[in-house]
Amino acid sequence: MSSSKALITGRDITKVFGYGKNKTTALDDVNFVFHEGEIVSIVGESGSGKTTLAKIIMGLLKETAGTIEYKGKPRLLKNHSQRREYWKDIQAIFQDPFSSFNMFHKVEKLLKDCIRLQGLKLSADEQFRKMQEACTFVNLKFEELYNKYPFELSGGQMQRLMIARIFMLHPKVLIADEPTSMVDACSRSTILDMLLKLRDENNMTIIFITHDVGLAYYVSDTLYIMEKGNVIESGRADEIILNPQHRYTQQLIADVPKIHSAWDLS
Ligand SMILES: Nc1ncnc2c1ncn2[C@@H]1O[C@H](COP(=O)(O)OP(=O)(O)OP(=O)(O)O)[C@@H](O)[C@H]1O
């Protein structure tokens, strides 16, 4: 992936929450380079700083120190139009789909908003076809869902709907924070395959946030392993999994249950 263009670069990103006794350093001088079309996983245990990093990349949280470059220039989010431009390119899907949708808007409105966000002027027929196509991509039937509110859908249907929105928006970067947490193993691999297909079709950069190193290995080109606010190891997924250098990474890999060996539950 290093041969493709650098898209987002983070230099010495630090994030401190609180003051004095209540101070938490969630990120401590974190560096990264994500390339066009690359699938990156940020892996670490709970509290290692993954979500904080994702929010800073999204521009939802301000870093305490450090700089982020987007397409080779410092990322500026000072005014409404700079934020609007950036958010056209970067989208996120979160672990909890319930918090991602406006529960008072029906499915049809949620999907129509994607058309509006792109500034497309389409006839009613064209809009219908676009929404139908996006739902078909994620194995949902628009005709059955358009009149429903998000809370009338199952968790898995909502997660699919989130991916349908990504299909319509064509972002350059997708941050996916545990996007398969609410679905069974079978739907999980379908959802991951959908995201991989989107990458192939749009050369999208995908940043997965996960504590599951097995999943990260399955989907990623590159891994960043985080522990206590630091990136302790990064590089090609296969190289890290086959030859982990850091003790913490070795432990994460050792903790992945092996289906054919006996589990010690004592
Ligand atoms: N708004 C906040 N105020 C204070 N501390 C925070 C805040 N957000 C996160 N933290 C702290 O920063 C550290 C990193 O949290 P973060 O949510 O980024 O970890 P994570 O790796 O995403 O964990 P998880 O996998 O459980 O979501 C934790 O110690 C957390 O308690």
pLDDT in 10s for each residue of the chain, 266 residues: 556 899 999 999 999 999 988 999 999 999 999 999 999 999 998 899 999 999 999 998 999 999 999 999 999 999 999 998 898 899 888 766 666 677 788 999 999 988 988 788 889 999 999 999 999 988 899 999 999 998 898 878 888 888 899 889 889 999 988 766 666 666 677 778 888 888 888 899 999 998 888 888 888 999 999 999 999 999 999 999 999 999 999 998 888 766 555 555 55
Domain assignment present for 56: yes
- How much distance in Å is there from the Cα of 126 to the middle of ligand 1? 43
- How much distance in Å is there from the Cα of 117 to the middle of ligand 1? 31
C-alpha to C-alpha distance for 191 and 170, rounded to whole angstroms: 17
Which atom of ligand 1 lies closest to the CA of 211? 25
> Is the CB–ligand 1 distance for residue 181 below 6 Å?
no
Q: Which of 13, 15, 23, 50 to mutate to test the pocket of ligand 1 (most atoms within 8 A of CB)?
A: 50
Question: Is-contact 77 83, C-beta < 8 A?
Answer: yes
Domain assignment present for 105: no
> Is the CB–ligand 1 distance for residue 22 below 6 Å?
no
Q: In which domain, by residue range, is 243 found?
A: 6-99+174-254
Domain assignment present for 208: yes
Question: Is-contact 57 33, C-beta < 8 A?
Answer: no
What residues form DSSP beta bridges with 176? 93, 208
> Which residues of the chain form beta strands (DSSP E)?
6-17, 24-35, 39-43, 65-70, 73-74, 90-93, 173-177, 205-210, 222-227, 230-236
> Is the CB–ligand 1 distance for residue 235 below 6 Å?
no
Domain assignment present for 247: yes
- How much distance in Å is there from the Cα of 106 to the middle of ligand 1? 32
Question: Is-contact 44 211, C-beta < 8 A?
Answer: yes
Domain assignment present for 23: yes
Q: What's this model's pTM, rounded to 2 decimal places?
A: 0.87
- How much distance in Å is there from the Cα of 73 to the middle of ligand 1? 28
Report the candidate in 183, 147, 144, 184 with the shortest Cα–Cα distance to residue 162: 183
Report the candidate in 115, 173, 111 with the shortest Cα–Cα distance to residue 136: 111
C-alpha to C-alpha distance for 41 and 144, rounded to whole angstroms: 34
Q: Structure tokens of 219?
A: 């989907």
Count of domains observed in the chain: 1
The CATH number assigned to the domain holding 232 equals: 3.40.50.300
Question: Is-contact 209 29, C-beta < 8 A?
Answer: no
Domain assignment present for 265: no
> Is the CB–ligand 1 distance for residue 228 below 6 Å?
no
- How much distance in Å is there from the Cα of 17 to the middle of ligand 1? 9
Q: Which of 13, 14, 24, 62 to mutate to test the pocket of ligand 1 (most atoms within 8 A of CB)?
A: 24
> Is the CB–ligand 1 distance for residue 55 below 6 Å?
no
Domain assignment present for 231: yes
Domain assignment present for 107: no
CA distances 109 to 102, 117, 120, Å, are 10, 12, 15
